[in-house]
Amino acid sequence: MNKLKNIALIILLAIAIIPLSSCCCKKEAQKTTQVVDYVKEGYAALTVLFYELDGCKWMLVQEDGKKLNPDGGLAEAFQKDQTKVWVKYELLKNAPNICMAGTMVKVVDIKERK
């Protein structure tokens, strides 16, 4: 009879633990689907532009039309004209610019904007 009580107790404990573990996983899944506020994170909303001019190829354009020239170019995944992107960048002062168009920047991070 004691053996039967122990088995019943183990089954009850197992049944009680299962819902607790599934709640944990749901909370984790909710955390990963949160929307990122790119502006708060220091990103700028820019557009990739194919700019065929001596020394130029791929530029980033701000909403006000100002051009940014990414030092070292853009990653191949972003080399598509009119692609909307989020970019975190640093201005490069006194950087040589053979393109002669736009302000030289170092791209710190870039993500496609949807």
Tens digits of per-residue pLDDT, 31-71?
A: 556 788 999 999 999 999 998 876 788 999 999 999 999 98
Average pLDDT over residues 75-79: 95
50 and 99, same domain (yes or no): yes
Q: What is the pLDDT of residue 22?
A: 56
Q: What share of the chain is helix, strand, coil (3-state, %, to 5)?
A: 30, 30, 40
Return the structure tokens found at 113: 């904007």
Which residue segment(s) compose the domain that 84 sits in? 44-112
The residue type of 87 is V
H runs (alpha helix) in the chain: 2-32
Domain assignment present for residue 39? The answer is no
CATH code, 103 = 2.40.50.500
Residue at token pair 């183990």:
10
Average pLDDT over residues 2-20: 72
Q: How far does CA 87 lie from the centroid of its chain?
A: 9
Q: What is the pLDDT of residue 20?
A: 61
pTM exceeds 0.75? no
